[in-house]
A and B are shown apart, each in its own frame.
Chain A
Amino acid sequence: MAATATYPPPPPYYKLYKDYIQNPNSAPEPPPPIEGTYVLFGANYTTDDVLPSLEEQGVRQLYPTGPNIDFKNELRSLNRDLQLHILELADVLVERPSQYARRVEDISLIFKNLHHLLNSLRPHQGRATLIHLLESQIQRRKQAVEDIKRRREEAQKLLKEALGTLDGH
């Protein structure tokens, strides 16, 4: 006797599609796409995929907010801060070893800020990729139009020549 459990049966909706071949409208429509949040295997998922801001995660934001952030300079200054904090940690470990916790927290804060900044560059990258794709597609289409025009003109020329040789024959 097999000790494994059998698979669950397929959902019973198939009975509704009995006359699908004769009349496609007798079967129910597929369910509409889900909006908002949904529960899947006991976990909550959301359909609105946006990067949660740092405050929502309870992490202090070290770089200034605003409509246009100068990503390069902020990344560079965060990098320098990180190096300074690593040096500070080394110093603390030599002189006052029991106070490492605060320094380690600071370093992890800087890392979280770094990653959040990099993640917020992604939508910009997506839009830039889209722009690039559209530009290359326009380029290809223009090229195709030129090619077709040229071929048509060549064909017309050949036909005229052929007509000329036939008439002169």
Chain B
Amino acid sequence: MDIISQLQELVNTIAALAFNTFGTLQRDAPPVRLSPNYPEPPAANPTEDAANVAEQPKLMSAALVKAAKQFDALVAALPSSEGGEEAQLKRIAELQAENDAVGQELQRQLEAADAELKQVQELFNQAADNCLNLKKPE
């Protein structure tokens, strides 16, 4: 896939990682204590281990940072745009002129080669005729 498409895919991936991160954290965060007057919130269910809740932000943020680093690497790999639009258009015009010239040269060579091929075929025909004429049938 070309590099600009990769960059676009990566931007979308970063967006997906970001909202997955926030969504997961919001969904899985344990309830917070509102004020010292209210008692502690009831104990969380055993499915939410403290380790799980503490690991997830680390993993997800690591993924986010990795994606951002990939983005920087890809941006560095972009071919530097030498000149601008006008320089490119000028180069295209030059290349077209050169292409036409080389095309005409090719055409000339082809025609000369075709003529020579015809000559050789003519000679071959004559030689074959002579051979046939020399060999009389029995």
Q: A-side interface residues toward B, CB under 8 Å? A: 67-68, 71-72, 75-76, 79, 82-83, 86, 89-90, 93, 107, 111, 114-115, 118, 121-125, 127-128, 130-131, 134-135, 137-138, 141-142, 144-145, 148-149, 151-152, 155-156, 159
Beyond A68-B84, A72-B76: 12 further Cβ-contacts under 8 Å?
A: A79-B72, A79-B75, A86-B64, A89-B22, A107-B18, A124-B85, A127-B88, A134-B95, A148-B113, A149-B109, A152-B116, A159-B120
Tell me the minimal C-beta distance from B98 to chain A in angstroms: 6
Interface size on B, residues (CB 8 A): 41
Q: Which residue, B8, B79, B81, B96, has most C-beta atoms of chain A within 10 A?
A: B81
Given known A71-B81, A131-B91, contact A111–B15 (CB-CB < 8 A): yes
Q: B-side interface residues toward A, CB under 8 Å? A: 2, 4, 7-8, 11, 14-15, 18, 22, 26, 64-65, 68, 71-72, 75-76, 78-81, 84-85, 88-89, 91-92, 95-96, 98-99, 102-103, 105-106, 109-110, 112-113, 116, 120
Q: Which residue of A121, A134, A145, A155 is within 8 Å of B92 (Cβ)?
A: A134
Tell me the minimal C-beta distance from A19 to chain B in angstroms: 41
